A = this chain, B = another copy of it.
Amino acid sequence: MYKRLLNRLLISHRNYSYSRSIIDIIKTGQIGETISVQGWIKSLRKQKEVTFIDINDGSTPTNLQIVLTQKSDSKISVGSSISTSGVLKQSPKGQNEVSAENMVLIGECDLAKGYPFAPRKQYEPEYIREHLHFRPRTRKFASLLRLRHAANISIHNYLDEKGYFNIHTPIMTSNDCEGAGEIFKVLPDNEKLLKSMAKENQASELVYFDTKAYLTVSGQLHLEAAAQALNKVYCFGPTFRAENSKSRFHLSEFYMLELEQAFLSNLDDLLIIVEDLIKSVTSNLLQKYSDDIGMCTQNKVSHKWIDKPFIKISYKEALNILSNKLNKTVKGDIVKEHELALTEYFDQVPVFVINWPKNQKPFYMKEIDNENVAAFDLLAPQIGEIAGGSLREDNYDKLKSRLANNNSQLDWYLDLRRFGCVPTGGFGLGFERFLQFVLGIDTVRDSIPFPRWPHNCKL
């Protein structure tokens, strides 16, 4: 009885006849075979006898031309979704096309009802960004999304092959890290819940966790705890800044790759990892996603830097070069203008600036001498800083003395230096800025699907 019931209930894994994806048709389609395909109409030209319809299904930037020999549904328009089948042929221009006798309309797309993108029109990124939920339907941004996916998985696979383990460092943390004040706090949006959980006279922001909770500004400190056991670790996730910045390089929510490696005591070793990672991931994109790269960059972005060694200069050398180049004494902060001047000076090759003054960097960076720390910034042409890192201070007393106000929240971090400590080093790479650099994206808001910045948290 039981067996029979079981058999009856088993899912029948029938061969469900899926339509083919356009990328699959392009790669493996045989001239003469009958295929089914679905997608959204990208352009439409009606002639007396036939209608030429370009469709796209999101699998590739390349459209597939459908040549429809019957009268087409009058409701079919650019933006509407359709299903069709026909014989795969070669067009006079040598490209694949489908000769179809009919076409089924799945979803209309009526411009008159408020669809924001008209056929054959070019729109500015600002306008497209106003319609975030439709933005993936624009050709260039669809390519950006595929490339963002490809870069993401390429980074994971690169690090996996090198023996790094992905650690999910926390998004909500009780540690305000560097206390820079550019931090979001988090609490339940539920008065009833808070009331039911509150201890006497407890401030509402303390109730849920018994401590204030913030959104992470960096996974580094947590990553170090993992590196002191697993050796080679990274995190790659969302990071937050509550700044009032509307620059083309800042978001309130962005992605950062952070890597930490144990038994590492030489800054150069860290630079080699950063340079190889950036070059490998970029090469992979250029090789495997050339169509999307072409669409996204409009072939206007140079990647010549990929074959050249990155430049390495000290902070002091950087100031000297800048003073000479700009004909004025540059000291103190290296600002965005300086960053761009340096990469320009070095012929659009990325530049590592190393050995920074201690007072310009966070407390955890390892001292070289009384004045300087073993840190780097990596400056990319046209973009400026895309990564930064350092060796970490592994001397318990030095670290403790640099921790402001004897912050007891970070006792656990000091602990890492007290028990079986090994030297570590690591860096953070801004993922959106990396994409801006490789894909020539003017504003960071166009490098992420759902950008958040002051006064903007759409959807």
**Residues in B neighbouring A327, C-beta threshold 8 A:** none
**Residues in B neighbouring A420, C-beta threshold 8 A:** 40-41, 79-81, 107-109, 115, 137
Report whether B232 and A188 are in contact in the complex, using a CB–CB cutoff of 8 Å: no
A87 within 8 A of B: no
Q: Mark A39-61, 1 if CB is under 8 A from B, else 0.
A: 01100000000000000011100
**Residues in B neighbouring A253, C-beta threshold 8 A:** 170-172
Which residue of chain B lies nearest to A19 when distances are taken between CB atoms in the complex? Answer: B263
**Residues in B neighbouring A146, C-beta threshold 8 A:** 165, 230
Which residue of chain B lies nearest to A174 when distances are taken between CB atoms in the complex? Answer: B457
Binds B, one of A94-102, A208-216, A383-391: A208-216
A203 within 8 A of B: no
| Docked CA distance A183–B194 (Å) | 12
| Docked CA distance A271–B13 (Å) | 10
| Docked CA distance A418–B40 (Å) | 14
Report whether B38 and A263 are in contact in the complex, using a CB–CB cutoff of 8 Å: yes
A25 within 8 A of B: no
Q: Given B13, B106, B255, B266, which contacts A422 in the complex, CB threshold below 8 Å?
A: B106
Report whether B268 and A11 are in contact in the complex, using a CB–CB cutoff of 8 Å: yes
| Docked CA distance A110–B366 (Å) | 24
Q: Mark A297-311, 1 if CB is under 8 A from B, else 0.
A: 000000000000111
> In chain A, residues 152-170, which have Cβ atoms closer than 8 Å to a Cβ of chain B?
152-153, 156-157, 160, 163, 165-170
A456 within 8 A of B: yes
Binds B, one of A62-70, A121-129, A237-245, A436-444: A237-245
**Residues in B neighbouring A142, C-beta threshold 8 A:** 229-230
Q: Mark A252-276, 1 if CB is under 8 A from B, else 0.
A: 1101000000110010110110010
| Docked CA distance A222–B79 (Å) | 19
Q: Mark A115-158, 1 if CB is under 8 A from B, else 0.
A: 10000000000000000111011000010011011001100110
Query: Are A136 and B230 CB-contacts (below 8 A) given A9-B313, A420-B79?
Result: yes
Q: Mark A327-351, 1 if CB is under 8 A from B, else 0.
A: 0000000000000000000100000
- Provide a sorted-by-A list of 14 A–B residue pairs whose CB atoms are within 8 angstroms: A11-B272, A58-B165, A58-B230, A58-B231, A81-B421, A134-B225, A142-B230, A145-B165, A148-B168, A149-B165, A149-B166, A170-B253, A170-B450, A181-B192
| Sample of 5 more A-B contacts, CB < 8 Å, known A11-B275, A168-B448, A184-B188 | A83-B263, A133-B225, A171-B238, A181-B192, A237-B238
